[in-house]
Amino acid sequence: MVSHSHHKIGHTLMKELAKRGHEITFISPFPETEPIKNFKTIVLTGLVEEWNQFMSSFNPLQMNNNFVLLSIFFVSSMTNKVMEQTLAHENLHALLRSGEKFDIVLAERFVYDGLLVIGHQLNVPYGLISCIGPSIWTNHLLGAPDIPSYMTSLSVEPPIHISFGRRLHNFIIYSLSKLFEITYTYPKQNAIIKKYFPDAPHINDIIYNTSLILFNSDNSFNQPIPTTPNSVEIGGFHVRPPKKLPEDLQKILDNAKHGVVYFSLGSVMKSSLIPVEKRQEIIRALSKLKETVLWKFEEDLPNLPPNVIIKSWFPQSDLLAHPNVKVFITHGGLLSTIESLHRGVPVIGIPIFGDQKMNMANAVNQGHGLMITYPELSEETLSDALKEVLTNPKYTNNVKYSSAVLKDQLVDPIDKAEYWIEYVVRHKGAKHLRLASLDLTWYQHISLDVILFLTAVTVILCYVFYRIIKRLLCRKKSKKEKSN
C-alpha cells in the first residue's frame, strides 16, 4: 500500500529482524533512504507517482459522511488496483525468475489477501501482518468465529452490545460486507491472480492455508475477542525507545513552561485540506491556550497566534515521549493511537475515515480522551474538549494505567513476532495450528446442514407420531361404535 503508515508496520518489523541476522527481501513502493545490513528492497517503481496523482484529486474529508457500502466498494476497488499493480510489476517477476530461495513470505493484510499467491509461487509457508487487530475482517482466514453481536465492523463504534439498534446496524453492515467480499472482492482478486499466474490454484485454496497472522493489537487498546493458535498479537511493536529530538524542537519542548499540545492528522489526511472557515475556528480555539501548540501543517499559515508553531513533519513517537506534551489532537489512526497510549498522552480524536472512529471510540470508552466528529468540529467544541482534557487529571491517569498494561508483557512484541515467524519456518508451515473449520464450507461451519437434517427428522417423527396416534384413536373410536 502506498501509504507511510501501512509501510511503517512491515518496514519496522522487517528492519528489526534484519538487525537480528535474518536476510530480508522487502517488496515496497518506497526506496530505502540508506542501506540496511541484511535488508534488500525490491522497489515497485511507479506506484508512488500514481498514488500521488490519485491523492491530488482525493480529499479524505469527502469520505466522512459517505454511505458505508460506498466506502467498502472504494477500499475494495483501491486495494484490488494495488494488488494488480504489484503482481504485474516486472521487478517482482524478476525476483520470482531469479531462483532465489526463501523460508517464508509475509504480506500485509489489508483486503488484498490474494498477494499470498507470491508465497504459493515460491512454494514456502506464508503469513500476514494485519494493520488492525483480530476482527470480522480477518476471522475467516483463521477459521475463527464471527459474532457480530459484539465484534464490531470498522464503521460501528464499540461497544455495540449495549444497544439493539447498534447491534442491528453492525449485523447488517457485517452481512453486506461479507456478501460483497464473496461476490466481488475475492472473484476479482482470483481473476487478477489467474491473469499473471495462470497455473495458480483458486484464491480460496491460497488464503485459507495461511500459516500465521501477526496482529497490530493488544487488549490494552483493543476489544478482546476469541483467537486461534496461529494468530499472534504484537501491538506496540513499532514503538521503540525514543530517539534524541532535533535541537530546535528539543528547545521548544523544554522551554514550554505551560506544556505542549501536539496536533497532527496523519500522513494521508493533511491539515491543509481543512476548509479555510473551519481552519480559522481551529486557530481561534488554539489561540486561547496558554500551552504551546505544535501543529503538523503542510503549508505556510500566515498570522498564526504566538503560541502556535507549524511544521510539515514532526518525529511523532519521539515527541510524544517528552514529559511536557500534555495532549495529542489526532485523527485516530491506529499507529498514532498506540504511540499516544505507549507514551501515556491523552488524546482528542477527530476521526475522518477508515478505522479511526472505532479507534477513538475505544479510547473514549477506556477514558483516554475525547472525540469530536469532523462535522461537529468548531471553535467551541475544540475549546471545550481541550479545557476538559487539560484540566481533568482522570484522562492522564487512565491513559498512564493503560500504558502500563500495554508494556506489561512477558516478552517484547518484536521477540514474540520473531519467535512465531521462525516457528512457522521450523515446522514447515505449522499446519498443526490450523483449525479444522477451514476445511468446512460456510454452511457446514455454522452446522446449517446438521440443523436442517435434525429439523427434517423432527418434522418426520412428529408426523409419524401424529399418524400413529390418529390411527389409534380411530381404532378406539371404531371399537366403541361397534360395541354400541
Instruction: Give the model's confidence band at 75: pLDDT under 50 very low, under 70 low, under 90 confident, else very high.
Output: confident
pLDDT of 460: 96
Q: What is the pLDDT of residues 340-367, one digit of tens each?
A: 999 999 999 999 887 888 899 889 999 9
pTM for this entry: 0.88
Q: How many CB atoms lie within 10 A of CB 388?
A: 15
Q: What is the mean pLDDT of the chain?
A: 90
DSSP string, 227-250: --TTEEE-TTTT--SPPPPPHHHH
Nearest to 22 by CA among 36, 2, 6: 36
Q: What is d(CA 419, CA 237) in angstroms, rounded to the nearest whole number?
A: 14
| Residue of 332, 247, 341, 256 whose CA lies nearest to 293 | 256
Q: What percent of the chain shows pLDDT beyond 70?
A: 94
Average of per-residue pLDDT across 210-216? 95
Q: Which is more confident, 51 or 379?
A: 379
Q: How far apart are the first and last CA of the chain?
A: 91
Within 10 A of 437 (CB to CB), how many other CB atoms are there? 16
Locate all alpha helices (DSSP H) within 346-447, ordered by sequence.
356-365, 379-391, 393-407, 413-426, 442-445
- Mean pLDDT highest for which of 131-140, 293-302, 395-404, 437-446? 395-404
Residue 118 has pLDDT above 80, yes or no: yes
Report d(CA 89, CA 323) in Å as an integer: 46
Is the predicted pLDDT of residue 454 greater than 70, yes or no? yes
Range with the poorest average pLDDT among 59-73, 199-213, 257-271: 59-73
How much is the pLDDT for 253?
96
**Residue 179 above 80 pLDDT?**
yes
Q: Looking at the predicted structure, is the pLDDT value of residue 66 above 70?
A: no
Please say whether the beta carbons of 100 and 74 come within 8 A. Answer: no
pLDDT score recorded for residue 482: 67
Q: Is the pLDDT of residue 259 over 70?
A: yes
For residue range 363-414, what is the model confidence (pLDDT) as tens digits? 999 999 999 999 999 999 999 999 999 999 999 999 999 999 999 999 999 9
- CA–CA distance, 337 with 204 (Å, rounded to integer): 33
Confidence of residue 64 (pLDDT cuts 50, 70, 90): low
Q: Are 345 and 372 in contact (CB under 8 A)?
A: no
pLDDT of res. 367 = 94
List phi, psi (to 5°) of 132: -125, 180
289-345 tens-digit pLDDT: 999 999 999 888 888 999 999 999 999 999 999 999 999 999 999 899 999 999 999
CA distances to 70, 272, 361, 394 from 64, in Å: 11, 16, 16, 30
Task: Look at residue 155 in the predicted model and tell me its pLDDT.
Answer: 65
CA-CA distances (angstroms) from residue 101 to 93, 126, 431?
A: 14, 14, 21
Average pLDDT over residues 438-445: 86
Q: Are 225 and 160 within 8 A, CB to CB?
A: no
